[in-house]
Structure formats: C-alpha cells, structure tokens
Chains A and B, each alone.
Chain A
Amino acid sequence: MTTASGEGKERSWFKEEFGSPERRTAYYMVLPALLIVLVVAFYPVLYGVVLSLTDSTVTSFGSFVGVENYVEMFQNPDFRLGLSNTVIFTVASVALEFIIGLGIALAINQAFRGRGLVRAAILVPWAFPTVISAVMWRLMFQDQVGVINYVANAIGVIDGPILADDTLLLIAVIFVDVWKTTPFMALLLLAGLQTIPGEVYEAARVDGASVMQRFFRITLPLLKGTILVAVLFRTLDAYRIYDLFWVMTSRGLDSLSTFVYEGVRISQLQFGPGNAAAVFIFVTAFAIALFFIRVLGMQTSTEE
C-alpha cells in the first residue's frame, strides 16, 4: 500500500470491520477459536519449517544449516524413489477409484429392489481399518499361502512371487487402495447425483437427447462440484499414504510418508532431515489443494 488512496481504502476497510461495536463483539467471540488454530495448526507448521533448516535432534536444537537438509534430501535415492512411488500411486489409485466409483454411483442411483442393501454392502471394504486390510491382502499375495499369487502364477500372468518384485508390489498396493476406497468415492458421488433434479433429465429426454448426451451434458457438469471435492479428498489422502506401504510391503517399498518416518527414526531422531521431508509433503499437498481450488474452480464455500 504505497499510494495515499490505497492507504485510505485500507483504513476505511479497517473502520468498517472494527468500527461498529457489534462487529467488534463478533471478532472477540471468534478470537479464542482463532488463537487455538494459531497454536495447534500454524505454530507447529512454522516450527516444522524452522526445524527443517537446522540439524536438530531430540536432545538439542542444533544449529542453522540453511537448505542443506533439502539438498541432501533431493540427492537421496530413497527419497526420489519414495516420491515417484507416491506420485504413481496417487495418480493411478485416484483415477481408478474415480472411474469405478462413478460407475458404481450411477448404477446404485437407479431404483431397484434391494438398493439399500447394496449401498450398505458396498461400504464393507471401507469399514476395515487400513492396517488390517493391508495384513489380510499381504497374506493373499504371499507366495506360500497366497491365493492371488497362486492364481496369477497358475494362469501365467506373472512368473514369480508378487511380494519380492517392487513393480508388482506397487501395483498390488494400488489395487488394495482401489479396493478399499472406491466405496467412499462412490458414496460421495452418489450423494452428488441425488442432488440433480429428475426434471432436468426429463426435459432432455423430451428434447431427444441420447443417453451419452445426457451423461456428458447434464450429469457431469452438474456433478462437477462433488467430483472435485471427492477427487481432492482422495488425492490428498493418497499422497500422504503411510499405513498401506508400511504394513503391506513390510517396509519393502517407500512412500513419502514412510520416508519421513525412517528419516526421523534413525538412531538419533534427526528432526532436521525428517522435518525437511515433512515440509516438502505439506507444501506439495498444499499446492495440489490450491490447484483444485484455483485452476479447476472448486467452490470452498456456499457463498457467491
């Protein structure tokens, strides 16, 4: 604010906001909540950033080392592998979940006998704690007792144990995530579908629109808001994946989050490098969210 008029605007804005006692009261009332958010959300994030620029350990704050932690992190092959695994995992799993989830949502949006039962049943995989489904699937992929491993080898899709091959393992992890979270996606999309009024379709039918035209011209555009929310949720969730990688691959495959944990846990609890990786995840996740809101035009509130 360098110009006088700018300053004036600023002041009038300030006056408008804090001038009336009623508005001031409103601010006083949200102040405690704001303070709590500052303390439990902003402070740790900022502190994490500060720590990532030092060589702190659990016992000492250490000294300021600039971006050295970040440079080392990017040079670390384990980090690069974790990053590429996470990106592949996120893109593949969210894309598959969206396509399958939309299919399921469209199907169970139709009226048919036993629809309630199907809707409940579809949620079963999602209701499992991730760690439990990870252990369960690991057993099925295992080479001695694993049914999937046996069938896949018997019909000749693969040759060798799934768990011992990093590529197959990543595919397996994606598969399990799709199995687990597609129901969530389907339910979110179903909720969106149900807000589309039936008259719109009726009118379209009267105008002679085909099934495909109705889907692409009515369903998809009207569902856009819901789709963006669902896909953003899943993208951020998938990007932070930890439990599935840690348990199902039995520490065989790194994701970004398992990298953070391993970075911190080595003998002296090195907070610096660990925080650098954590800050990296935070910043990139934030960028993904911004992309959804700004570029794809996701609505974050009901105003407007």
Chain B
Amino acid sequence: MTGIRRERPGTPEARRYSRRDFLKVGGAGLAGTALLGAAGCGGGGSGSGNLVFTMGTDTSGTLQGLIDKFNKENKGKLKVTYREMPTDTGQYFDKIKTEFQAGQSNIDIIGGDVIWTAQMAANGWVLDVTDRFPKSEQSKYLPAPIESLTYDDKIWGKPWFTDAGLLFYRADLLEKSGFSEPPQTWMELQEMAEKVMQDQGIKYGIVFQGSNYEGGVCNALEYVWTHGGDVLDGDEVIIDSPETVAGLETQRGFVTDGLAPEGVSTYTETETDPAFLGGDTVFARNWSYMYALAGTSDYPDVTPEKIGVTSIPTVEGAPKANCQGGWNLLISANSDLQEEAWEFVQWMSAEPAQKERALSATLLPTRTSLYDDPEVNEKVPTTVVAKTALTNAKPRPVSPYYSDMSLEMSEQFNTSLKGDESPEAAVKTLQDSLQQIVEQAS
C-alpha cells in the first residue's frame, strides 16, 4: 500500500468539517453503518441516561454480565448498552474511525486498543480526563498502560486490562538437554533450541506470529527494539538503522536456520497455539492467554507444569522489550453524558470490576494491587510467573498516524520475514513510506 495518499484531513483541522460536508460526499452507505446500533443518548432528566459502550467481541462471554451488574447498581439512573465490535483490532478501529470522521457517532464509552490513543486524541474524538484522573490515582495502575493513555502530556482515559508479548518455553525439554534456566539472549535461545531439537527430535525451535497484521508488527518490533532499533524519535522517523536491520535479520535467521517453520510468515496466534501446545516446538512467543490453554482438553500433553514463561530475549547487555497490548476505557468527546460515562469508566476500572474480569476471563488487570491478590494469582498464573515481563512492557510507537504506519510496517516486516526482500531493502522502503506519512500529515 504505497503511493495513493495525498492529503490527510483526519488531522486536527479536519474537525471543522460539518455533517453537511459529509453528506455532500455521498456517504449514504457509511451513514447507514453509523446509524446502526442502539438508540442515541441524551435521555431525560438530571443524571439519567442511556450510554453506549463499544468493545470487540467478548469471547469469554463475561463482559455482558459485568455490564448488567453495573446497570443493576444504577437502576433508574444509568443504563449501559454493549455494542459489539469486530474482534480484529484493525477492523474495529476502521469502524470507529469511520463513525467519528463522519461525526455520526452515538458511542459514549470506547473500549480502545492501547495503540489508538494518540490518533483519537489528536483528532479530538476522545475526552481529555487529566483533571479527573490525577497523578495520585494514576500511580495505582501499571506504568505501561498509563503511558499508552498519555499523549501531548495529557491523559485520555483509564487503563482496563493489559497484555504483553511473552516467551513461552518447554521447561521439561530444556531440562532434559541440560538447561536449567530460560534463555536471556536470542543467541542463547538459538543454541538451546538447536540442542533440544537435535537431542530429542523436536520439530521446531521457535514459533511466533509473522503474518501480515498488527500482531506481526508487535513481533517484529520486539526484535527491532532488543537490537537497539526504533521506529520514531518524537516526530522523526528513525527506522532505517543498522540496529533495525540486525533485528529483522535475527528474525529471518530463525526461518533460514530451520528453527522456525517456513510457514511462520502466515502465522497468527491461532497457528501458534497448536504448534507450541501440540508439542512440536521448544519456544513460542505469544500473548499471556496461551498459558491458560496448556493442559486443556485441546492440548492435553503439554501441561502448565511443563512450560515456563519469561521475558522476550534480547541481545547481550541490552534491555528487555516486551510489546505491550491491552485495552483502555475512553470517553467520546461527542457524548452528551460525559459525567455519566465517566462514572461507568470509574466503575469498570475499579478494583472489584477488574478483579472479576481477571477471574472470569483470565485477562490481566492493570491495577498493581491485583498482582498480589492470591485469588487472581491462582486463577491467572501469568500474574505470578511473568509479573516482571508484564509490568515492564513497552508500548508501540506513539503517533496520531499509527494505524497507517502499522499497515506499512506489517507489510514490510512480513516481506522481510518471507525472504521476498532483504531486511535492508524492507527497512529502506519503510523509512520512505513512514516519512511520507509524517510529512503529509503536517
């Protein structure tokens, strides 16, 4: 996707466009989408109203229960309707973006991916909550989610639940081959994997998510970061560096050295689970959810006792970098019921709701105190085994144009992983296209 961009009116000045302008463009179809969902807000008397809350499909099926609980507690005062959105973060964002750009949204509260904050804030779609959410309150949350909500020195929402890229390893296999500790560096990982593969006839050394999508960006960025590279320095694109190239070379090297399956460039999380939990692989990079799948009826052989979880490896002497994921709670700037929406956000991000969601959906809370809660520790074991990795996650580049940048990155990282292009060439292309995105924006 290069070439067909010229102007980017989603940027702050675009807010001036009125609804009439939108209709002029003939977006009848888009308006149709925008009008879907629950009825608008603005209900009667003081402090009463209907709120619309959007969030991707809740596979655990526990979100509605939580919302019902809130509605019951606020009976006659507030009623929150859950409007389901696509699971895929990219598709979800496309939808939200279309509605906000069209100015046709009835959404009050947004369950938003950590990577959206900058773009939504810069476009004026979400409410600045700096006054309502003081530093003293912020310190009760993990630092990475707070960082993901900070843009332009202001804070734009409250953290909900978090996640991070983790290295899963087969502790039993490593032990058999004489390794007592998980690898700290990529080099160690390669040595261990090769030995285990040879000693015990294991098919693959490592699996990860290399497909052309947002998850592929997270994976590649972990290699880039641990090798000392980065994407942005402020507004400046700095991706074209020997460090970035070295990172992508290490990633590609796992494929050419036979450690990773050749098809890894088509893998998402769905393909990673069976490859690792099916017993064919020594190491896997995945999000924390995979731990809960170990030993279940789908994967009876690889039990939780056999696997370990740790930070993503790095290069000798460099800091660790686990890509941060997770979801925040933000309030629409167009909402007529901002106070009421804030009430819901407070309730959802408070300890009881976070704990319930952690226990029922095994999602990772953002409240630091819950990481010492015995019940949470028992139900969500990654809060114990991977506490440092989770609490020290690194956010992806913060930019109002991140969603565009991500499309370019996922394409180039994927080409490099497939070997269709050298890491140098991919990084050069990226430098140009990301530069173009930044320039056209200003």
Contact = CB atoms under 8 A, between A and B. Distances in A.
Interface of A: 44, 47, 51, 55-62, 69, 72-73, 75-78, 142-145, 160-161, 163-164, 166, 250-252, 262-263, 265-273
B262 interface: yes
A144 B274 contact: yes
Nearest to A145: B274
Give the interface residue-count category, chain B: 35 or more
A163 to B, nearest CB: 4
A268 B9 CA distance: 7
A56 B27 CA distance: 11
Nearest to A263: B4
A266 B404 contact: yes
A43 to B, nearest CB: 9
B97 A267 contact: yes
Contacts of A44: 26
B4 A269 contact: no
Given A59-B17, A61-B25, A73-B4, A268 B10 contact: yes
A274 B30 CA distance: 15
B102 interface: yes
A164 B22 CA distance: 41
Contacts of B274: 144-145
Contacts of B385: none
B5 interface: yes
Nearest to B101: A58
B401 interface: yes
Contact of B261 (A77, A161, A272): A161
Given A69-B4, A266-B407, A268-B9, A59 B263 contact: no
A55 B101 contact: no
Given A163-B263, A164-B265, A76 B2 contact: yes
B4 A144 contact: no
A164 B401 contact: no
A94 to B, nearest CB: 28
A161 B21 contact: no
B1 interface: yes
Interface string B366-379: 00000000000000
B266 A164 contact: yes
Contacts of B211: 250
B212 A268 contact: no
Contacts of A145: 274
Given A143-B266, A161-B262, A161-B266, A58 B25 contact: yes
21 contacts: A44-B26, A57-B25, A58-B101, A59-B22, A60-B25, A61-B24, A78-B2, A78-B3, A144-B280, A161-B262, A161-B263, A164-B418, A250-B212, A250-B266, A252-B266, A267-B404, A268-B9, A269-B101, A270-B5, A272-B6, A273-B5
B122 to A, nearest CB: 12
A272 B26 CA distance: 13
Nearest to A146: B263
B21 A55 contact: no
Contact of A75 (B1, B3, B5, B27): B3
Interface in B77-136: 94, 97-98, 101-103
A164 B25 contact: no
Given A58-B30, A164-B262, A252-B266, A266 B98 contact: no
Contact of A142 (B2, B212, B271): B271
B1 A56 contact: no
Contact of A267 (B17, B213, B280, B401): B401
B7 interface: yes
A252 B271 CA distance: 16
B266 A270 contact: no
B256 interface: no
A163 B213 CA distance: 15
